[in-house]
Each structure stands twice: as structure tokens, then as C-alpha cells.
Amino acid sequence: MADTEPDKNNSEDTQKLGGNIELSGFSEFDRAEMVVIKKIIGNYVRKFIDMEKGVLDVKVTAKPVHEREKSAKYEIHLLINLEEGKPIAVESTGRNAFMVIDEAFKNAEQMLSSE
């Protein structure tokens, strides 16, 4: 039984948005924060699809690091799998989760534009 619990917790912490977006590690955010996070991510993924670069799926992972009493740093890992070419991987860290997510997607957008 103990072997199945981590998988269960991991799957509970993974959310799907649409058919091609996967979020994990976002369980610590409240409902209002998740509305904003999903909006940011959804808008960027829509842009990426409109760029017609063959985006298959997007995986976003959030990790709190250096937690303190009233402040934490967030580390965001972004992986974009493309139909052709190697995947795009971006990492960003900062204190404001919204800004860190935005920065990661902006960096990925620049990488997609240059291909």
C-alpha cells in the first residue's frame, strides 16, 4: 500500500488544462490564484499554437524553494514538446509566482520565435 501512495499524491497534484497542457505542483495555490495562473498559461499556449510551430503539449511544474515565514521563492519548469525538433525547456525563479510563470513563457516565446 505504501508504494501506491506517492503515485496517488502525484496524480492528485497534476491537472490537465484542455488537451495539451499539464500542470503539476500547483496544489499550494488557492482557487483565485489558479484562475490567474490558468489564464496566463492558456493565453501563452494559444499564442504558441497560433505561431504554427507544431506544439504538441506543454508541461508546467511549480516548486516552492527557499520558503520563509511570509515569503517563498517559486521555481517554474516549462517543457514544450514540438512535432519537429527538440523540446524547449525553460526554468525561471522568483518571489512572485505570476511573474515567474510569465517570465518562463516569455523566454519560451522568444525561443519559439527564433526557430
pLDDT at 5 exceeding the cut of 70:
no
pLDDT band at 19, cuts 50/70/90? confident
Query: Mean of the pLDDT values across residues 63-88?
Result: 83
- DSSP class per residue in 7-26: HHHHHHTEEEETTTEEEES-
pLDDT digits (tens, 9 = 90+) for 77-99: 999 999 887 899 999 999 899 99
| Whole-structure pTM value | 0.81
Every domain of the chain and the residues it spans: 4-114
Outline where the chain has alpha helix (H).
4-12, 31-50, 97-114
Specify the range with the lowest mean pLDDT, choosing from 17-26, 33-42, 66-75.
66-75
Residues β-bridged to residue 81: 57
CATH of domain 4-114: 3.30.160.100
pLDDT attached to residue 6: 36
